[in-house]
Amino acid sequence: MTGTIEKQTPPQQIRFRDKKTMIIKCPYCGPRDVIEFTYQGDATRQRPDPASSDQTAWNAYVYDRTNPMGSHREFWLHAGGCRQHLIITRDMATHVISSVGFARDAVSSGREGDRP
């Protein structure tokens, strides 16, 4: 096969550059783009006792999700940076972040709902 192959930028990359993105202030790395982070779930869920065989409680823990409006605590992983697990409090409607902290601090103080 002959001919030239033209390099093209995928359209989604062009659109991404035009969008306003979310910035997360990692306590270790500083302000970073959200693409460096991975969402890991709701930080307010309570895991049932591991010794429990209550299938209703385990089913709710594994499958039930809420869709809260307003401020919400979430686990995030800074996968493209320091690889620390973070707990972020974010407004679900505006994406404004009101607090960011290490998940290990919440775990050691017993404030976490669940672990990533």
Task: Using the minimum distance from each CB to Zn ion, give the nearer residue, 82 or 107.
Answer: 82
At closest approach, how far in Å is the CB of 85 from Zn ion? 10
Q: Are 41 and 103 in contact (CB under 8 A)?
A: no
- Per CB under 5 A, residues contacting Zn ion are 26, 28-29, 78, 81-82
SS percent in the chain: helix, strand, coil, step 5: 25, 30, 50
Task: Using the minimum distance from each CB to Zn ion, give the nearer residue, 39 or 59.
Answer: 39
At closest approach, how far in Å is the CB of 76 from Zn ion? 10
At closest approach, how far in Å is the CB of 29 from Zn ion? 3
Strand positions, DSSP E, 9-55: 23-26, 30-33, 38-42
